[in-house]
Amino acid sequence: MPTDLAPGAASIAAAGIGTASIAAPDIAAAGLASAAQARLDALWARGTTFLGCKLAIMGGAMSWVSERHLVSAISNAGGFGVIACGAMGPDQLAAEIAATRAMSDRPFGVNLITMHPALNDLVRVCLEAKVGHIVLAGGIPPGAAVRAVKDGGAKLIAFAPALVLARRLVRSGADAIVIEGSEAGGHIGPVSLNVLAQEILPALRDVPVFVAGGLGRGEAILAYLEMGAAGAQLGTRFAASAESIAHPEFKRAFVRAAARDALPSVQLDPRFPVIPVRGLVNAGTERFLLLQADVVRRFQAGEVTKDAAQLEIEHFWAGALRRAVIDGDIETGSVMAGQSVGMVDAVQPVDAILAELVGQMVAALAARG
Ligand SMILES: Cc1cc2nc3c(=O)[nH]c(=O)nc-3n(C[C@H](O)[C@H](O)[C@H](O)COP(=O)(O)O)c2cc1C
């Protein structure tokens, strides 16, 4: 299938509309599919216009995973790829942007973590490279970074974990909002997408809102579009794609896993907070519990200070995502994955994933007649 066609349109083309040989029921089916495709195009027009691509499906930035190969594959297939800056420094980020542009002439974005010590330099790098969309993740973005993005002419995308924060972000300059439910892979908030969508989609119409977390099928994305979402963001399904540079063991773990295997990290003692991260349960997650128990015991015995104890807990996962994604250590590494992992049945090329999602949306619309 040509990658520059919307998959639904391609399937209509493949149905051979306009050729004398097709039978009447085929023509009727093709007509329905064509009308359904037009309906979908209208439903997510706000998202596609905002992103500047054919499909309002963003590849959620994933540290170590969302680099040039995956990002360019998503954008080349009509979606919107997003580079995960993660812990990269400004020079590394500049090189990654240039390399991605060498692999795709389509729009893509860059995701920056707000607590990165060089945040302002990273924003400058994006602006100098004329990146059109900057995603600021990991908390409320600082005013200086927001102003720099806006003054530099890029569009600002921010995450909102509640309606009141979404409104505040829009007032301070966010051009679009992502609402990410607790079903998602990686760092998560406490509220499911199901609830966030009901709270935020009907109430926030000023800017496009993209939904994320636990999405694996087109019908679900369609339902959120019909509630007012402008588009969707998926991570887990793309992490297991053929173009993802994740280690084959990492992808195999995704194919094997069920939704119930992707659980949030557990905090043992409220005095020592643990930021919830959803990933596949493994020996590492069990060791993390034992470590917390041991640290709490030593703190209570007066052997370590509270700060030292907290630091020990925080350091447990340092480098663990890289170990899982790049080295394939799925036993002690951090195998971040959303509950959508249950819908990863095979390692598929990105254009096939997008074609499947759009095909499911179009089929659901066409089935209504
Ligand atoms: C392996 C992995 C790493 C991630 N890293 C980041 C990150 O660095 N920054 C970020 O904003 N979100 C990160 N996320 C969240 C994704 O961008 C996306 O919002 C999420 O995966 C959507 O939920 P889904 O996995 O159910 O599709 C990560 C997710 C995964 C699975």
Q: Which domains does the chain have, with CATH numbers?
A: 24-246+345-366 (3.20.20.70), 258-336 (no CATH)
Q: What residues of the chain score a pLDDT lower than 70?
A: 1-25
Instruction: Tell me what pLDDT residue 186 has.
Output: 97
Instruction: Tell me what pLDDT residue 29 has.
Output: 76
- Mutate which of 58, 63, 74, 322 for ligand 1? The one with the most ligand atoms within 8 Å of its CB, which is 63
Strand 186-187 and strand 209-212: pairing?
unpaired
230 ligand 1 Cβ < 6 A = no
Instruction: Tell me what pLDDT residue 253 has.
Output: 98
Instruction: Tell me what pLDDT residue 12 has.
Output: 34
HSE-CB for 347 with a 13 A CA cutoff: 15
- Mutate which of 62, 108, 134, 236 for ligand 1? The one with the most ligand atoms within 8 Å of its CB, which is 62
337 ligand 1 Cβ < 6 A = yes
Ligand 1, atom 3: closest residue by C-alpha: 62
Instruction: Tell me what pLDDT residue 33 has.
Output: 84
pLDDT tens digits along 279-305: 999 999 999 999 999 999 999 999 999
**pTM for this entry:** 0.92
Residue given tokens 């509950």 in the structure block: 339
Q: Which amino acid makes up residue 327?
A: D
Is the distance from CB of 264 to CB of 337 less than 8 angstroms?
Answer: no
Residue 112 belongs to what H/E stretch? Answer: strand 108-113
85 ligand 1 Cβ < 6 A = no
Instruction: Tell me what pLDDT residue 26 has.
Output: 77
DSSP per position, 3-43: TTS-HHHHHHHHTTTT-TT--HHHHHHHHHHHHHHHHHHHH
Instruction: Tell me what pLDDT residue 2 has.
Output: 32
Closest atom of ligand 1 to CA, residue 212: 22
Ligand 1, atom 13: closest residue by C-alpha: 62
340 ligand 1 Cβ < 6 A = yes
Instruction: Tell me what pLDDT residue 22 has.
Output: 53
Q: Which amino acid makes up residue 270?
A: P
